[in-house]
Amino acid sequence: MTREEDIRKAVEVLRKGGVILYPTDTVWGIGCDATNSEAVKRVYDIKQRDDSKALICLVDSDARLQRYIRKVPDVAWQLLDCCDKPTTVILDGAVNLAENLIAEDGSVGIRITQEPFSKELCFRFQKALVSTSANISGEPAAQNYPDIDPKIIEAVDYVCWSRRQEHKPHKPSSIIKLTEDGQVTIIRK
């Protein structure tokens, strides 16, 4: 299967409200349409995760990020410009996303991916994509496809073929919270 076919099939499933497993710029992820609350609920169920613990979103560009944050602070752009590894920013003022994806304080974690497969997937889907590590809550993140629990593979609607053969170390993203009033908190280095 070509990468193009793989992405086309994944997008088809996402548009129907399905849940996919896919390689990201960090670890393997469970993904769905970040604007579809039913799909987001399924991701929480698959991970066996309390829905009070927020999930993050993946987007392909600065422009797409701005569709989901009321006002992106200048410090966020500066931070994203200087990061040399995948970095998720938690920003206030989340909009146009599923309610069960937005934290109680109105914030959401979002990352602009530069990795070719996930970037193309986000571009073709034309929406934010939920991106949470492909593991049962509390278990180690799946760095590579063989690390994914079979229960998760069985629970999703589509498993991407791209990068399944890969065997190399991957780490979750850094996470930095930026508030509208300028406070910066490093959640995960």
Query: 151 pLDDT exceeds 90?
Result: yes
Q: Please report the pLDDT score of residue 84 as a whole number.
A: 85
Query: 3-188 — its CATH code?
Result: 3.90.870.10
Distance CA 61, CA 18 (A): 23
Give the residue-averaged pLDDT of 14-19: 98
Query: 130 pLDDT exceeds 90?
Result: yes
- Token pair for residue 41? 């609920």
Residue 61, C-beta contacts closer than 8 angstroms, at least 6 positions apart: 112, 123
Give the residue-averaged pLDDT of 16-44: 97
Give how far the C-alpha of residue 11 lies from the chain's centroid of Cα atoms, to the nearest Å.
15
Q: Where are the beta strands (DSSP E) in the chain?
A: 20-23, 28-31, 56-59, 87-91, 108-112, 129-133, 158-159, 174-178, 184-188
Phi, psi of 91 (to 5 degrees): -120, 145
For residue 55, name the pLDDT band (cuts at 50, 70, 90). Answer: very high
pTM listed for this prediction: 0.93
Mean model confidence pLDDT for the chain: 94
Query: 27 pLDDT exceeds 90?
Result: yes
Residue 63, C-beta contacts closer than 8 angstroms, at least 6 positions apart: none
Secondary element (H or E) of residue 102: none
Q: What proportion of the chain, given as a percentage, has pLDDT over 70? A: 100
**Per-domain residue ranges for the chain?**
3-188
Q: Please report the pLDDT score of residue 79 as a whole number.
A: 86
